[in-house]
Amino acid sequence: MPTLVVHQIPVCPFSQRLKILLALKGIPDAVSHQVVDITRPRDEELLRKTRGTTALPVMELADGRILKESMVLLQYLEDIYPERPVAQREPYRRAIENMLCRMEGEFTGAGYTFVMNQDLAKRDTLRENLLKIYARIDDFLRQHSTGEGPFLFEEFGWAEAVFTPMFMRFWFLEYYEDFQLPEGDERYARVRQWVAACKAHPAAQQVSEEEIVKLYYDYAKGAGNGALLPGRKVSSFVFEPDWKGRPWPPKDKYRVSASDAELGLGIS
Amino acid sequence: MPTLVVHQIPVCPFSQRLKILLALKGIPDAVSHQVVDITRPRDEELLRKTRGTTALPVMELADGRILKESMVLLQYLEDIYPERPVAQREPYRRAIENMLCRMEGEFTGAGYTFVMNQDLAKRDTLRENLLKIYARIDDFLRQHSTGEGPFLFEEFGWAEAVFTPMFMRFWFLEYYEDFQLPEGDERYARVRQWVAACKAHPAAQQVSEEEIVKLYYDYAKGAGNGALLPGRKVSSFVFEPDWKGRPWPPKDKYRVSASDAELGLGIS
């Protein structure tokens, strides 16, 4: 019976981090996830709990206290469920892990800026910008990873829990931007190996490519967080109809603007 | 005999965090600080150690391995010198501490953007922007701080080690922007108390207002990291002549551009 509740947006990458951590610890049900419908005005009771702030996810403790910020929540779960440690404990290894995780903010920002871009002229620059960060991660892994496997250390761990949800969100770049790490290019060989192993790991199978591509259609058209695009009445983040029954959206984000009907939305 | 060396820029706020932490632990000499002259081309040997990256500070371990990122270094020192813990150990308190520290990046960015601004028309917006963040920190402290004292918890600790160097750097805002937290305004009463107590703490007396104001003159004129301003031959971050012997710079950054001679620079 979970006494911890996480309030999150649909397919929230930050909440997926928590789910991955708990899966690695063998306690996937330790937290109850409440998905907030971001296409509607925020619930009054939740707003009261968060003192008016709307950023998600937030974690509600059994006594009603609220914690925020995905990395803070991740550490909190690591601390209260210490039995199977996921974060490194040895100081130097912990520092290496933390250094890699410090690169995640810029990486995520570059990917989201890219998918939300609507200016065809900026596309190449945004692609190059993201590739540079992949190359830096590649270099970091070559320098610091231990052992022969694909992960930073011997096993899928803390850094992988942090990055994998973003690798999976970036399916929206493959679909809407034809973005791929250039094959056969040595600058990305190590990070490509890491990304593939992270996405394939059993602890990280909470979302699918199809779900990401369908729900993030509005991001690809420049509208984030449940905001409505011109001419549209329904957000791609809406709960009903479920994404499984909707058609795949058009890939060409720069020239095509799909209607609600074309996206399978608004049929009640 | 320290086996750890930190390479840092002059009056580096991130390195001051490490010094504060070690002072709190009672081992101020556990790390040797090497100040890099950022007004000259970077030393080849240091560049080789950092694999070509120029971001400072970096920490060099006894065996030559390099760690980067101030929060990573702070955690590393906390881990290898655990005798007097500075970070909170209880999970909830640790989460609160981490949440507050997550606000530091935006706070620092707002202050540095403000001091480096050269457009008089943007001044009020930048001031308001910074005040909003102070108000958020104020609210956070009212909600979460324990006990009757001025700090987040009972004593000057981890969050204070993180923020205090920035409170001290912001002496440049008092001097060059006449920035003060509005007196008698309840929105800032709690954070004002925190800032004052942080600046006064014995573990945090590594820099003075005079040193900050004199060294950061070029920042106030829009040039960061040892870059040279038009018409100037010497950076305000130069080692010689020492800041103690230089005059106080002109306060009016928007209308006055002091010469090397007026700043007491370039006299060899």
Q: How far does the CA of residue B126 sit from the closest CA of chain A (Å)?
A: 22
| A-B Cβ pairs (cutoff 8 Å, strict) | 60
Among the three residues B25, B47, B80, which one is the final residue of a domain in this structure?
B80
Query: Same structural domain for residues A76 and A177?
Result: no
Q: Say if the ipTM goes beyond 0.85.
A: yes
Domain span including residue B154: 91-204
How many domains does chain B contain in total?
A: 2
DSSP string, B164-230: HHHHHHTHHHHHHH---PPTT-GGGHHHHHHHHHHHH-GGG-S--HHHHHHHTHHHHTT--TTPPPT
Query: Same structural domain for residues B13 and B101?
Result: no
Give the model confidence (pLDDT) of A76-117 as tens digits. Answer: 999 999 999 999 999 999 999 999 999 999 999 999 999 999
| pLDDT value of position B195 | 98
Query: Same structural domain for residues B73 and B129?
Result: no
Read off the tokens for B72. 């990573």
Of A138, A228, A130, A256, the closest CA to residue A190 belongs to A138
| pLDDT value of position A244 | 95
- What is the residue whose two structure tokens read 């620079």? B265
B18: in domain: yes
A59, A99, A137: which to substitute to probe chain B, counting the most B Cβ within 10 Å?
A99
Query: Same structural domain for residues B28 and B52?
Result: yes
Query: Same structural domain for residues A34 and A111?
Result: no
The whole-number average pLDDT for the span A183-189 is: 96
Give the model confidence (pLDDT) of A17-27 as tens digits. Answer: 999 999 999 99
Query: Same structural domain for residues A195 and A116?
Result: yes
Give the model confidence (pLDDT) of B10-25 as tens digits. Answer: 899 999 999 999 999 9
- Which of these ranges, A57-66, A152-161, B1-10, B217-226, has the smallest mean pLDDT? B1-10
A220: in domain: no
**pTM for the predicted model, two decimal places:** 0.94
Edge-to-edge order in the sheet of strand A4-8: A31-35, A4-8, A58-60, A66-68
A58, A69, A78: which to substitute to probe chain B, counting the most B Cβ within 10 Å?
A69
| pLDDT value of position B93 | 97
Query: Same structural domain for residues B72 and B96?
Result: no
B200: in domain: yes
Among the three residues B204, B233, B251, which one is the final residue of a domain in this structure?
B204
Q: Please, which pLDDT band fits residue A2 given cuts at 50, 70 and 90?
A: low
A99: in domain: yes
A246: in domain: no
Query: Same structural domain for residues B138 and B38?
Result: no
Closest residue in A to B70 (Cα–Cα):
A99
Give the torsion through C-alpha atoms of B211, B217, B222, B224, to 10 deg: -40
Q: Is the pLDDT of residue A138 over 60?
A: yes
Q: Please, which pLDDT band fits residue A147 given cuts at 50, 70 and 90?
A: confident
Q: Note whether A51 contacts B143, CB cutoff 8 Å.
A: yes
Q: Note whether A98 contacts B51, CB cutoff 8 Å.
A: no
Query: Same structural domain for residues B139 and B60?
Result: no
Buried/exposed B115-142: b ≥16 CB within 10 Å, e otherwise: bbbeeeeebeebbebbbebbbbbbbbbe
From first to last of the 268 residues of chain B, give the pLDDT tens digit: 568 999 999 899 999 999 999 999 999 999 999 999 888 888 898 898 888 888 889 999 999 999 999 999 999 999 999 999 999 999 999 999 999 999 999 999 999 999 999 999 999 999 999 999 999 999 999 999 997 899 999 999 999 999 999 999 999 999 999 999 999 999 999 999 999 999 999 999 999 999 999 999 999 999 988 889 999 999 999 999 999 999 999 999 999 999 999 999 986 5
Query: Same structural domain for residues B128 and B186?
Result: yes
CATH of the domain at B58: 3.40.30.10
Query: Same structural domain for residues A73 and A109?
Result: no
B248: in domain: no
Q: Is the pLDDT of residue A61 over 70?
A: yes
Between B203 and A266, name the one with better pLDDT: B203
| pLDDT value of position A43 | 87
| pLDDT value of position B128 | 98
CATH of the domain at A112: 1.20.1050.10
| pLDDT value of position B40 | 84
| pLDDT value of position A268 | 53
Closest residue in B to A97 (Cα–Cα):
B72
Among the three residues B164, B183, B204, which one is the final residue of a domain in this structure?
B204
Query: Same structural domain for residues A33 and A70?
Result: yes
- What is the residue whose two structure tokens read 């058209």? A221
The whole-number average pLDDT for the span A140-167 is: 96
Between A131 and A239, name the one with better pLDDT: A131
